[in-house]
C-alpha cells in the first residue's frame, strides 16, 4: 500500500497553487514531475562535481565518469537488459527512435523494403521511419486499430510479409492509453525473423519491464516521463544489432582512432554517444529510476489501476461525455470529449480551476483521423494523483458543461 500523501511531499511542484487553487496535475503523459532527490542530484552534480567525462585524468573527471557509467548500470538493471553495452544514453525517445531509423536503416533497409508501424503511434514513431523510407526507396505499412482502440492483431500475419525489415510499435498509446500485447506481437514478428522496436515512452513508468523477457530488439524511452530530467533518454538495443549498425553521428567520444584516411569507432555503447553527453542529467535519471524502484513498480501498477477504475467510472457518469479508447488493457490515461464542446474550451476552463490536462491531437494525428476527431481532452494520471483530484476534475467538467452546454 502506498502512502500517497507522503509520496506527494517528494514532489515540490505538487504543493503549489495556480490561480489560487491547488494544482491538480493530470498531464503526466506529456511529462512527469520530478521528485526532490532528482532536483537535488542535479544541483549537487553541478555545484560540487561538474567535470567532463571520459579520458579525464583529474579527480572530478574520473569521479563523474564513474557516476555516469554507474547510471548506465542502473538503467540496465531497471529494464533488465543483459549488458551495459546495450544501453545508449540519448536525448529522449525521439532521439532514440531516430538513431535506430538512421543507423539500422543504413545497414538493413533497401529499395522495395517495408517498415511496419501501427495506427496508434506517436509522430515520433512515424516520421523517422517515413524519412528513412524516402531516403531508401522503402515504404511504410500500417497495422490498423479496431473501434476500442486496440490493434487488429488478426491482420498482423498478413502484414508481416518477407518485405518487412522492421516493426516499430508503441508499448502503450500516449493518446488513448491502450497497452499493446507486445510480447505476442514480438513473437509473431520473430517467427518471421523481423526485428521489433518498442516505443516505451509511455510504458517504462507504468510497471515492471524486462527487455530480455520481451525479447524486443530495441526499446526507446525518455527520462522526463519517468520522473527524470529533460533531455535524457535511453536506447536499448540488442548487441548483435548495435554492433552491425553504423553510427548516426560523428564526433568526440564515439571514435577509437581518427585519421584523415580512416576513422574507427569506439566500442559499444559509446559508438552511439557522439559529443559531450548530458552526463549530469543521465546520472539524475538513474536517481529517478531508483526512486521508482523504491516506490515499488508493483505498488504503482496496483494503485494506478485503482485510479483508472475510479476515473473511468466517474467520467462515465457525466452525461454526454464520450471516452476514446476502451481497450481492455490500459494505463491510467483517459481521452474524452464532451458533446459538442471543443477540447480546447474544456482544457481552458479546467486550467482556470487549477486542473492541468492536455488537449489536442497528442502528436498522433493519424490516430485522431482514424477515430474521426481532431483531438481530445486527455487526463493522464500517475501514482501521486488521488481520487479526490478525480472528483475535482469531474466537478470541473460539470462546470464546463454549464458554460458551454
Ligand atoms: N512516443 C510516445 C508514445 C510518446 O508519448 C512521446 C512523448 N509524448 C514520444 C514518443 C516522444 O518523446 P520525447 O518527446 O520525450 O522524445
Residues with CB under 6 A from ligand 1: 92-94, 122, 124-125, 170, 174, 199, 201-202, 222, 363
Q: pLDDT digits over 343-359, tens only?
A: 999 999 999 999 999 99
**59 and 152, same domain (yes or no):** yes
Q: Which of 239, 271, 293 is the last residue of a domain?
A: 293
Closest C-alpha to ligand 1, atom 14: 94
Q: What string of DSSP letters covers 171-232?
A: SB-TTT-BBP-HHHHHHHHHHTT--EEEE-TTTGGGS---HHHHT-SEEEEEGGGGTS-TT-
192, 216 Cβ separation under 8 angstroms: no
List the catalytic residue out of 216, 363, 382, 394: 363
Q: Is the pLDDT of residue 405 over 80?
A: no
**143 and 215, same domain (yes or no):** yes
Which of 122, 126, 176 has most ligand 1 atoms within 8 Å of CB, for mutation? 122
Task: Measure 94 CA to ligand 1 centroid, in angstroms.
Answer: 6
Cα 139–Cα 140–Cα 144 angle in degrees, nearest 5: 150
Q: CB 287: neighbour CB atoms within 10 A?
A: 23
Q: Which domain holds residue 381?
A: 4-30+296-404
**13 and 133, same domain (yes or no):** no
Cα 298–Cα 302–Cα 307 angle in degrees, nearest 5: 140
Closest C-alpha to ligand 1, atom 12: 93
**Residue that is written with C-alpha cell 539500422 in the block:** 104
Which of 222, 367, 378 has most ligand 1 atoms within 8 Å of CB, for mutation? 222
**383 and 243, same domain (yes or no):** no
CATH of the domain at 380: 3.90.1150.10
Question: What are the grid coordinates assigned to 8, written together?
Answer: 506527494
Q: pLDDT digits over 6-58, tens only?
A: 999 999 999 999 999 999 999 999 999 999 999 999 999 999 999 999 978 99
Portion of the chain with pLDDT greater than 70, in percent: 100
Q: pLDDT digits over 53-80, tens only?
A: 997 899 999 999 999 999 999 999 999 9
Question: What are the grid coordinates assigned to 334, written together?
Answer: 483517459
Q: pLDDT digits over 257-279, tens only?
A: 999 999 999 999 999 999 999 99
Mean pLDDT of 154-179: 98
Which of 128, 201, 219 has most ligand 1 atoms within 8 Å of CB, for mutation? 201
Helix (H) or strand (E) holding 379: strand 376-380
Mean pLDDT of 286-306: 98
**94 and 108, same domain (yes or no):** yes
Q: Is the pLDDT of residue 203 over 80?
A: yes
Three-state SS annotation for 187-199: HHHHHCCCCEEEE
Q: What is the pLDDT of residue 56?
A: 80
Q: What is the pLDDT of residue 281?
A: 98
**261 and 301, same domain (yes or no):** no
Peptide bond before residue 269 is cis, with ω within 30 degrees of 0: yes
Q: Which ligand 1 atom lies nearest to the CA of residue 30?
A: 8
Q: What is the pLDDT of residue 398?
A: 98
Three-state DSSP at 125 gives helix
In whole angstroms, what is the distance from residue 10 CA to residue 14 CA?
A: 9
Length of the chain (residues): 405
Q: Which of 242, 272, 293 is the last residue of a domain?
A: 293
**224 and 196, same domain (yes or no):** yes
Q: Which of 239, 259, 293 is the last residue of a domain?
A: 293
- Does the annotation mark 363 as catalytic? yes
Q: What is the pLDDT of residue 1?
A: 85
Distance, CA of 32 to chain centre: 11
Mean pLDDT of 111-129: 98
Q: pLDDT digits over 349-400, tens only?
A: 999 999 999 999 999 999 999 999 999 999 999 999 999 999 999 999 999 9
pTM of the model: 0.98
Could you give the number of structural domains in the chain? 2
Amino acid at each position: 500500500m502506498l502512502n500517497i500523501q507522503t509520496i506527494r511531499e517528494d514532489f515540490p511542484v505538487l504543493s503549489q497553487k495556480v490561480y489560487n487553487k491547488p494544482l491538480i496535475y493530470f498531464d503526466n503523459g506529456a511529462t512527469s514531475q520530478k521528485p526532490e532527490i532528482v532536483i537535488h542530484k542535479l544541483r549537487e552534480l553541478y555545484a560540487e562535481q561538474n567535470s567532463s567525462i571520459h579520458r579525464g585524468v583529474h579527480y572530478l573527471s574520473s569521479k563523474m565518469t564513474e557516476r555516469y557509467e554507474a547510471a548506465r548500470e542502473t538503467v540496465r538493471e531497471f529494464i533488465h537488459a543483459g549488458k551495459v553495452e546495450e544501453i545508449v544514453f540519448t536525448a529522449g525517445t525521439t532521439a532514440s527512435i531516430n538513431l535506430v531509423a538512421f543507423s539500422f536503416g543504413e545497414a538493413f533497409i533497401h529499395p522495395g523494403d517495408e517498415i511496419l508501424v501501427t495506427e496508434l503511434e506517436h509522430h515520433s514513431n512515424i516520421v523517422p521511419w517515413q524519412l528513412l523510407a524516402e531516403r531508401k526507396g522503402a515504404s511504410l505499412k500500417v497495422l490498423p486499430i479496431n473501434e476500442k482502440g486496440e490493434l487488429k492483431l488478426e491482420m498482423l500475419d498478413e502484414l508481416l510479409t518477407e518485405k518487412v525489415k522492421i516493426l516499430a510499435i508503441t508499448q502503450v498509446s500516449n493518446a488513448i492509453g491502450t497497452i499493446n500485447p507486445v510480447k505476442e506481437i514480438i513473437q509473431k514478428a520473430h517467427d518471421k525473423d523481423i526485428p521489433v522496436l518498442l516505443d516505451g515512452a509511455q510504458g517504462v513508468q507504468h510497471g515492471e519491464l524486462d527487455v530480455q523477457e520481451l525479447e524486443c530488439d530495441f526499446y526507446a524511452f525518455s527520462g522526463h516521463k519517468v520522473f527524470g530530467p529533460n533531455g535524457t533518454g535511453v536506447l536499448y538495443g540488442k548487441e548483435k544489432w548495435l554492433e552491425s549498425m553504423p553510427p548516426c553521428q560523428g564526433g568526440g567520444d564515439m571514435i577509437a582512432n581518427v585519421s584523415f584516411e580512416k576513422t574507427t569507432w569506439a566500442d559499444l555503447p559509446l559508438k552511439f554517444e557522439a559529443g559531450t553527453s548530458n552526463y549530469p542529467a543521465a546520472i539524475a535519471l538513474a536517481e529517478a529510476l531508483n526512486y521508482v524502484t523504491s516506490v515499488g513498480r508493483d505498488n504503482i501498477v496496483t494503485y494506478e489501476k485503482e485510479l483508472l477504475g475510479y476515473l473511468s467510472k466517474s467520467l462515465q457518469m457525466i452525461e454526454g461525455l464520450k471516452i476514446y479508447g476502451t481497450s481492455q488493457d490500459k494505463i491510467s490515461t483517459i481521452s474524452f470529449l464532451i458533446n459538442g464542446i471543443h477540447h480546447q474550451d474544456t482544457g481552458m476552463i479546467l486550467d482556470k480551476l487549477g486542473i492541468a490536462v492536455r488537449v489536442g491531437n497528442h502528436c498522433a494525428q493519424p490516430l485522431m483521423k482514424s477515430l474521426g476527431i481532431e483531438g481530445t481532452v486527455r487526463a493522464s494520471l500517475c501514482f501521486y494523483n488521488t481520487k479526490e483530484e478525480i472528483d475535482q476534475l469531474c466537478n470541473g467538467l460539470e462546470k464546463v458543461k454549464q458554460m458551454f452546454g
